[in-house]
């Protein structure tokens, strides 16, 4: 049996129920931390109740049977008939996992099979006094959802269905208490969102009363939000990008003209284009809470499996960034949070022995810095020992003894980002295989970001990631090699200075220049990217662009500095797709095609491996 995937009510259910399922993952963990918080408890109850109502109307009996019992359990909690404990939360979180698996089937247009009867029995046991032990015995293995006999689900009466049709056809009538549950699905934008209004209600309110829609939410409020296909937004952004390129070209042409009126018109176009560009970019923005929201559950489950006590603090969850970045950050941040809990936070016994609180703290924060976003993952754990990192790097053959001795503490911390590096003596299900952190470095580099690590032995560690707010339009430093322009992502550029070749030396086969008493590796980009020498190169007029590549700084020698330019990234053609060292192409102010350099892959292809 399948569902009509094009039905408008079904599509609204998918969107709104999906948002509620995401929130519940975080709210359930918060409820375990604050079991006496009636607002959190009400929010959880209303989440289960609202999705159950929508599933009931669509005939998703398997979901209804599971969520009806979960709703009963949280109503028992609201009535004060039992308290929150770890066994109860283990069951509730498993219910959420099974519900997510069912919901994934619904998204594919399939009717999900009912939940495992043993899970339903565990929920049933938790609603009666003294049923916790029986519930633990009845609890099935995680995510074991075989097809079973369907539990009974509340049907919608003919009267309720007629009321629903009236609402859908815009008839202005006050819904009766008997159709409140249907009403929550009939107006998905209003009723489902009112689920998280966290209205303060007495603990003994019955489920039918709790489902009353928010009377203060008028139709005009629900109509204020318009859902747009992301592909349409991408198409609009692409057109705005073309407009930006045309503006840049006109601005360059105007510089050669002495027409004051034309200059004023171009200046006005510049302002309007910039405002339009910013407006379109904002439509693609999403709060980073979309990523942060999954980590309370991750930390909770991981801490329990490692027998640790860990509190996770989330800061700056409303910070906005490009939706493509939000999606791309999920895996790297997951690695970092997992490592902070596993490697950073000590066991409760070790923390007490060191004079610390039993429970460790991991802080995940986001804030905007100009046209970049700063993410940080900080823990108050054991910190890192630079000497131990040096020894491990030598043992694993990543560097030799002499090179290790020359590393300062900060460079030692950066070793954890090297492929194959791990301080774990024994491999576990969580870590120890020497993978993960190098994946983080690579992924952040692909997003034109940088990673910085700091630590203090016995105090904890902090890892900072800087990323552009969007990947669609990129500020660059335009340079020339010969007569060919190239664009360097401005986020990678640290400083620029004129090259004095009398200050250069060769160390271990690598050309370097002394910069503030430290050796900076130098690479002539013309040797990698062009085959002819320009007149500027013959006159030995060269500049050094210092760039951040992963965890080290290097100097790129270029012949001409054109200046800063905001470019629109265009993908390379099929023939050049995947060519190492290039992120795409763009059109410069003077109408020429410039290749945009991918600094990490350029270095990997021409200078070193790893």
Q: What's 250's domain CATH number?
A: 1.10.287
Q: Is there a single domain that holds both residue 88 and residue 179?
A: yes
Total domains, the chain: 4
Q: Are 122 and 138 in contact (CB under 8 A)?
A: yes
| CA dihedral (429, 435, 438, 444) positive or negative | negative
Please give the pLDDT value at position 356.
Answer: 94
Which of 414, 445, 468 is at the close of a domain?
A: 468
Q: pLDDT tens, 541-590?
A: 689 999 987 667 899 999 999 998 888 787 777 667 667 788 888 888 87
Identify which of 183, 203, 216 has the alpha carbon closest to the alpha carbon of residue 50: 183
Q: Are 28 and 93 in contact (CB under 8 A)?
A: yes
Whole-number Å distance between alpha carbons of 380 and 478: 42
All residues at 6 or more sequence positions from 144 whose CB lies less than 8 Å from its CB, including other chains: 116
What are residue 301's phi and psi, to 5 degrees? -70, -40
Identify which of 342, 338, 335, 339 has the alpha carbon closest to the alpha carbon of residue 308: 342
Q: Is there a single domain that holds both residue 546 and residue 522?
A: yes
Q: Is there a single domain that holds both residue 12 and residue 94?
A: yes
Mean pLDDT, residues 307-311: 94
Q: What's 533's domain CATH number?
A: 2.40.50.180
Of 12-21, 143-152, 156-165, the least confident: 143-152
Q: Is there a single domain that holds both residue 214 and residue 239?
A: no
pLDDT category of residue 455 using cuts at 50, 70 and 90: very high
Mean pLDDT, residues 254-279: 82
pLDDT at residue 198 is higher than 50 = no
pLDDT at residue 322 is higher than 50 = yes
The stretches of 256-371 forming alpha helices (DSSP H) are 260-283, 289-292, 295-305, 323-328, 330-339, 348-353
Whole-number Å distance between alpha carbons of 221 and 318: 21
Please give the pLDDT value at position 10.
Answer: 81
Q: pLDDT tens, 414-424?
A: 888 877 777 66
Burial class of residue 596 (count of CB atoms within 10 Å of its CB; 0-12, 13-18, 19+): buried
Cα-to-chain-centroid distance, residue 264? 42
In a domain, 1, yes or no: no
Q: How many Å is the Cα radius of gyration of the chain?
A: 29
Q: What's 365's domain CATH number?
A: 3.30.565.10
pTM score of the predicted model: 0.65
Expressed as residue numbers, the domain containing 378 is 287-468
What are residue 83's phi and psi, to 5 degrees? -110, 170
Mean pLDDT, residues 277-285: 80
Per the document, the length of the chain is 610
pLDDT at residue 312 is higher than 90 = yes
Higher local confidence (pLDDT), 322 or 362: 362
In a domain, 3, yes or no: no
DSSP string of 511-541? EEEEETTEEEEEEEHHHHH-SS--HHHHTT-
Residue-averaged pLDDT of the chain: 77
Higher local confidence (pLDDT), 298 or 8: 298
């Amino acid at each position: 049996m399948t569902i009509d995937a094009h039905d408008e009510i079904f599509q609204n259910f998918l969107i709104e129920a999906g948002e509620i399922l995401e929130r519940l993952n975080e709210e359930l963990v918060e409820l375990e931390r604050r079991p006496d918080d009636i607002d959190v408890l009400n929010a959880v109850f209303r989440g289960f109740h609202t999705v159950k109502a929508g599933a009931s109307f669509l005939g998703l009996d398997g979901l209804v049977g599971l969520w009806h019992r979960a709703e009963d359990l949280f109503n028992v909690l609201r009535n004060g008939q039992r308290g929150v404990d770890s066994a109860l939360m283990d069951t509730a979180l498993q219910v959420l996992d099974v519900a997510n698996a069912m919901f994934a089937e619904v998204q594919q247009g399939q009717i999900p099979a009912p939940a495992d009867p043993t899970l339903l029995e565990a929920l049933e046991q938790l609603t009666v006094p003294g049923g916790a032990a029986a519930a633990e015995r009845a609890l099935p293995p995680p995510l074991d959802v075989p097809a079973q006999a369907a539990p009974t689900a509340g049907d919608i009466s003919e009267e309720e269905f007629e009321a629903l049709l009236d609402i859908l056809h815009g008839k202005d009538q006050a819904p009766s208490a008997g159709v409140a549950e249907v009403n929550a699905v009939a107006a998905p934008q209003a009723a489902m969102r009112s689920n998280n209004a966290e209205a303060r209600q007495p603990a003994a309110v019955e489920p039918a009363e709790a489902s009353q829609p928010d009377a203060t939410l008028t139709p005009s409020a629900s109509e204020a939000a318009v859902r747009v296909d992301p592909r349409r937004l991408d198409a609009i952004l692409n057109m705005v990008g073309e407009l930006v390129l045309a503006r840049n070209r006109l601005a360059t042409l105007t510089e050669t003209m002495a027409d004051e009126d034309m200059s004023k018109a171009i200046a006005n176009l510049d302002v309007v284009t910039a405002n339009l560009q910013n407006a379109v970019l904002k439509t693609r923005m999403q709060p980073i809470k979309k990523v942060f929201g999954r980590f309370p559950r991750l930390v909770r489950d991981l801490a329990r499996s490692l027998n640790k006590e860990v509190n996770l603090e989330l800061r700056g969850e409303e910070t906005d960034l490009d939706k493509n970045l939000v999606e791309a950050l999920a895996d790297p941040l997951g690695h970092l949070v997992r490592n902070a809990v596993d490697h950073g936070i000590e066991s409760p016994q070790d923390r007490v022995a060191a004079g610390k609180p039993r429970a460790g703290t991991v802080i995940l924060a986001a804030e905007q810095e100009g046209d970049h976003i700063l993410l940080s993952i900080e823990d108050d754990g054991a910190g890192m020992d630079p000497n131990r990192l040096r020894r491990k790097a030598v043992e694993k053959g990543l560097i030799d003894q002499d090179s290790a001795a020359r590393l300062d503490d900060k460079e030692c911390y950066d070793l954890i980002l090297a492929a194959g590096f791990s301080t774990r003596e024994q491999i576990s299900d969580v870590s120890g295989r020497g993978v993960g952190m190098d994946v983080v470095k690579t992924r952040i580099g692909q997003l034109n970001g940088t990673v910085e690590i700091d630590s203090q032995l016995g105090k904890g560690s902090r890892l900072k990631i800087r990323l552009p707010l969007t990947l669609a339009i990129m500020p660059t430093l335009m340079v020339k090699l010969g007569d060919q322009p190239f664009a360097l992502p401005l986020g990678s550029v640290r400083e620029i200075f004129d090259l004095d070749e009398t200050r250069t030396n060769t160390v271990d086969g690598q050309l370097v220049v002394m910069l503030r008493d430290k050796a900076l590796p130098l690479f002539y980009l013309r040797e990698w990217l062009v085959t002819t020498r320009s007149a500027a190169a013959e006159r030995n007029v060269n500049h050094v662009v210092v760039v951040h590549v992963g965890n080290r700084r290097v100097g790129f020698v270029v012949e001409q500095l054109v200046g800063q330019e905001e470019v629109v990234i265009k993908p390379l053609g099929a023939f050049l797709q995947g060519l190492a060292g290039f992120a795409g192409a763009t059109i410069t102010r003077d109408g020429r095609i410039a290749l945009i350099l991918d600094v990490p892959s350029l270095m990997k292809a021409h200078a070193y491996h790893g």
